[in-house]
A and B are shown apart, each in its own frame.
Chain A
């Protein structure tokens, strides 16, 4: 789905004082593309995803998905958080079925839940409770919970941020293959430079708060990518320069 962000500014109130987090941000993403939003922690990238999901409304500017202005949350645009935030009182299967149940279409679509659990490699864990899962497994359930609704736009808010590094590498590869198979548009917020250039077709670099776009870099490498590719190292250098961290490399 086409994503259009036009001149969006947004802010919060913190102890009575206004706190601007987004400053006239504009960009578009092609349907089916994988775009990474990269920037320092707390720069307002996550806020952008909340606006796209329809959980918040921008103070000014316009947010449109598929040419339609975003007014409210909709299962065609799903946000995956940094914490899996599974419902602890529901089994894995029931957690994944949440969206279908909420929309009242679970009855005729139970097979979809089984299918997506298989897709994320959690077949046989249907009856487990969240406290019995490892961090990586829980995040897979969270992904399955999003994917079962067949979203056209997947908003990923540092979904791998809290995983150990080995699980993280494995999940990065899985994320790419999920995106390719489901043919959806993916917007990934991250502060990990390598993750951004390894996964995305395009990396949009944000400056510190209030977030403003400082660079828009195309990653012109075919999938599957290789982590040792010298082109990735070049791109990383370029991105770090935009973040003002080139000297450390």
Chain B
């Protein structure tokens, strides 16, 4: 108590400015209590139909409670993780309440009947017992999406730059784009599965097609809306055409390009799931279809959750790339 380490004081001050002081966090303590209560409820309230993995679920809840309690009492010892947990403290409480209500409505009272509604522990059961199949499904989905999205984004970007830059390219490509672009990529599905040698390559094509249209349009409009003065300035400074395209037009159009990439990613998810449900014998879309065939509703809920996490992660990754690329811009929307 007699000596004050200046570095510790400084860290404390920095944390205090973001409202997470060194003191005990009451919100996190409440969260810890809520999660402990949820654990108790899961463990001691008997299920209407006995289900496996109730105890594991209770243990996980207890684990969350312990982590919340430790963070609440330890101040900023855990650094960044602690400040994240403190920020989400109120959400942590609400999450415990939601879990408890869900548990009561399904496993404990059966107000929401099986098999149409899954209890938390039955979803846990899927993750514990079927993680291998779920995991490979995610891997296949991501791989397929990556291939299609990469080729689609590349083709869209190149097409957009070309028609944005060259009047004659625009003359020839624009009518085709207007005719084919608005057609949903899924409409090509029967034909694509017929023409392409494998359902995998057909799916890559469809995802690429779905991605390419918004990327093309937005890249094109980005290139077309570049301030003409940028070109004049670069030309008086001695720039050749290649410099004007690569160092002026494309960087100036990038904010638009990213809007196109986001739209493309969104549509590519839709095409991915449909393609996997109808043709490809792998991936999360296929897993959903397969689960439906076995009336395995628990697996469907679990797969939906995994799919949501996967899509959200991919969108987040794209946001990160954009933030890094466009760090020169003011007032970016955070994801």
- Separation of A55 and B252 alpha carbons in the complex (Å): 21
The 0/1 profile, CB within 8 Å of A marked 1, for residues 207-237 of chain B is 0000000000000000000010110111111
- Separation of A21 and B330 alpha carbons in the complex (Å): 39
Give B231 Cβ to nearest chain A Cβ, in Å. Answer: 9
Answer yes or no: A77 CB below 8 A from chain B CBs: yes
Answer yes or no: B21 CB below 8 A from chain A CBs: no
B238 touches which of A87, A90, A102 (Cβ 8 Å): A102
Q: Give the total of B residues in contact with A, Cβ under 8 Å.
A: 22
Q: In the complex where A101-B247, A129-B328 touch, is A87 in contact with B237 (Cβ < 8 A)? A: no
State the majority secondary structure of interface residues on B.
helix
- Separation of A75 and B234 alpha carbons in the complex (Å): 10
Answer yes or no: A249 CB below 8 A from chain B CBs: no
Question: Contacts of B315 on A, CB cut-off 8 Å?
Answer: none
Answer yes or no: A149 CB below 8 A from chain B CBs: yes
Question: Contacts of B230 on A, CB cut-off 8 Å?
Answer: 85, 87
Answer yes or no: A73 CB below 8 A from chain B CBs: yes
Answer yes or no: B248 CB below 8 A from chain A CBs: yes
Q: Are B233 and A131 in contact, CB atoms less than 8 angstroms apart? A: no
- Separation of A193 and B239 alpha carbons in the complex (Å): 35
Give B126 Cβ to nearest chain A Cβ, in Å. Answer: 47
Q: Are A98 and B328 in contact, CB atoms less than 8 angstroms apart? A: no
Q: Are A75 and B236 in contact, CB atoms less than 8 angstroms apart? A: yes
A102 touches which of B243, B252, B254, B330 (Cβ 8 Å): B243
Answer yes or no: A125 CB below 8 A from chain B CBs: no
Q: Are A149 and B237 in contact, CB atoms less than 8 angstroms apart? A: yes
Q: Are B237 and A99 in contact, CB atoms less than 8 angstroms apart? A: yes
Tell me the B223-271 residues at the A interface (CB within 8 Å). 227, 229-230, 232-240, 243, 247-248, 251-252, 254
Q: Give the total of A residues in contact with B, Cβ under 8 Å.
A: 27
Answer yes or no: A118 CB below 8 A from chain B CBs: no
Question: Contacts of A74 on B, CB cut-off 8 Å?
Answer: 236, 238
- Separation of A204 and B102 alpha carbons in the complex (Å): 83
Answer yes or no: A216 CB below 8 A from chain B CBs: no
Q: Are B236 and A85 in contact, CB atoms less than 8 angstroms apart? A: no
The 0/1 profile, CB within 8 Å of B marked 1, for residues 67-105 of chain A is 000000111011101010101111100000011011100
Q: Are A87 and B248 in contact, CB atoms less than 8 angstroms apart? A: yes
Answer yes or no: A45 CB below 8 A from chain B CBs: no
Q: Are A79 and B232 in contact, CB atoms less than 8 angstroms apart? A: yes
Q: Are A85 and B227 in contact, CB atoms less than 8 angstroms apart? A: yes
Question: Contacts of B168 on A, CB cut-off 8 Å?
Answer: none
Answer yes or no: A53 CB below 8 A from chain B CBs: yes
- Select from chain A the residue with minimum beta-carbon distance to B236: A73
Answer yes or no: A152 CB below 8 A from chain B CBs: no
Q: In the complex where A85-B229, A102-B243 touch, is A55 in contact with B236 (Cβ < 8 A)? A: yes
- Select from chain B the residue with minimum beta-carbon distance to A50: B232
Question: Contacts of B237 on A, CB cut-off 8 Å?
Answer: 75, 78, 98-99, 102-103, 145, 149
Answer yes or no: B329 CB below 8 A from chain A CBs: yes
- Select from chain A the residue with minimum beta-carbon distance to B231: A55
Q: In the complex where A88-B328, A88-B329, A102-B243 touch, is A77 in contact with B236 (Cβ < 8 A)? A: yes
- Separation of A66 and B248 alpha carbons in the complex (Å): 30
- Select from chain B the residue with minimum beta-carbon distance to A95: B233
Question: Contacts of B254 on A, CB cut-off 8 Å?
Answer: 89
- Select from chain B the residue with minimum beta-carbon distance to A142: B233
- Select from chain A the residue with minimum beta-carbon distance to B329: A88
Give A238 Cβ to nearest chain B Cβ, in Å. Answer: 34
- Separation of A78 and B234 alpha carbons in the complex (Å): 10
With A78-B236, A102-B247 known, 10 other A-B pairs at CB within 8 A are A55-B235, A73-B238, A87-B251, A89-B254, A89-B326, A90-B328, A98-B237, A102-B239, A103-B238, A149-B237
Residues of A bordering B, CB below 8 Å: 50, 53-55, 73-75, 77-79, 81, 83, 85, 87-91, 98-99, 101-103, 129, 131, 145, 149
Residues of B bordering A, CB below 8 Å: 227, 229-230, 232-240, 243, 247-248, 251-252, 254, 326, 328-330
The 7 lowest CB-CB distance pairs between A and B, nearest first, are A99-B237, A102-B239, A75-B238, A103-B238, A73-B235, A73-B236, A89-B251
